[in-house]
Amino acid sequence: MKKLLWLIAALMRVALIFSIVICDELIGKEKEHPVNAAVPVIDTQPEGAIYLQNDNASPLSVTARVSDGGTLSYQWFSSDQADNTGGTSVGTEAAYMPSTEMAGIYYYYVVVTNTNNNASGNKTAKTVSAYAEVSVNTSVVQSAGTPSYVTAVNVWTYPTEPNSALPSGYTNWVKDDLYDPDQGNILNANAGDGGLGDWIRFAYRTESEANKHEAIAEIAILVDQVQPPAGWTKIDVDLNKGHPNTSYLYLVYRKVNPSDTQAIDFIGSYSRRIEADNQTLPGYSWVYYTGGEYIGLTERADLNKEQPTANWIFLMVHKRPFMW
């Protein structure tokens, strides 16, 4: 019996020693190969936007996830450089509302941090988002003290590049930069196509409240050689002039009537090498197609329709309140 008890005690001592050795080895391995907090994964990057000064902005946001059950935190930065380093700390939430108080171009990015206090190694890990460009532009519409409306619009074509002289009786060229009509280049509606097609320009006239019954309420682009909708006037100049195998496009407009509550006071354009995002630029309205399949005015009008190598060019209009 004594021998059996001795044997059991000896086996227990061996098991204890073995357990201590195994634990020491595991602890040593953990110290040698600690488990760090997981690096956050960003699923949705912040997106840039264009605003007029003092307009209401949409928040910049980011969506991120982490695989180890840690806690995510956010740190937004603003910079005047197109980069995602440096800058000034501006926010600590998953979304950040950019300011539109000052005109300029601003770049924002966010650092996402995962904190996992159960990690045996580094308890935090970070991921930096791409930067988003936010442009805040000075408003170009007439000031409240000098109200006026667009009362006439017309189209001119030229076989070669013309000078900048305005046609008689017109006060403004439509420029190729919606936000900078005083300094931007004059819009060529056949731009970006390797020199094909005629030069096509738009000009309009603005007049005071005294002639408000002549104000233009809507403009659109008529597709193909069809009649415009009732109450609309067609300018018989093909906006694809000089381009074979493309649709006929014509500018059409409608003047105000007693039921209108807004009228146009500024015409601009929005030109990009790729199609513009389906966004609403604050204060402005897209010009749409009309005629044929486009009679519902639901598709934004690309002035270079069916020219795949040319710029996307969209007309935009700004409106202000109108009372008959």
67 CB-near residues (< 8 Å, 6+ apart): 38, 41
pLDDT tens-place string over residues 241-299:
766 667 788 999 999 999 999 999 999 887 765 555 555 566 678 898 887 555 555 68
Does position 131 have pLDDT exceeding 90, yes or no? yes
Torsion, CA 210, CA 214, CA 218, CA 224, rounded to 10 = -160
Q: Write out the E strands in the chain.
A: 41-44, 49-52, 60-61, 63-65, 71-79, 88-91, 95-96, 104-115, 124-128, 132-137, 148-158, 172-173, 199-208, 216-223, 233-234, 249-255, 262-272, 284-286, 289-290, 312-321
| CA-angle at 317, arms to 154 and 190, nearest 5° | 55
pLDDT tier, 207 (very low <50, low <70, confident <90, very high otherwise): very high
Domain locations in the chain as residue ranges: 41-137, 148-321
| Average pLDDT over every residue of 134-153 | 74
pTM of the predicted structure, to 2 decimals: 0.60
Does position 37 have pLDDT exceeding 80, yes or no? yes
| Average pLDDT over every residue of 147-153 | 92
Q: Which of 301, 307, 272, 305 is nearest to 196 (CA)?
A: 307
- CATH-assigned architecture of domain 41-137: Sandwich (2.60)
Is the domain defined by 148-321 classed in CATH 3.40.1400.10?
no
Task: Quote the CA–CA distance of 98 and 48 in Å, as a whole number.
Answer: 10
Percent of the chain with pLDDT over 90: 43
Q: Which one is predicted more confidently, 65 or 179?
A: 65
Amino acid identity, position 233: T
Task: Quote the CA–CA distance of 138 and 182 in Å, as a whole number.
Answer: 12
Does position 91 have pLDDT exceeding 60, yes or no? yes
Mean pLDDT of all residues belonging to the chain: 82
| Average pLDDT over every residue of 53-70 | 88
Q: Are 265 and 304 in contact (CB under 8 A)?
A: no
Q: Are 171 and 223 in contact (CB under 8 A)?
A: no
Does position 63 have pLDDT exceeding 90, yes or no? yes
Instruction: Tell me which of 30-39, 82-91, 118-127 is least confident.
Output: 30-39
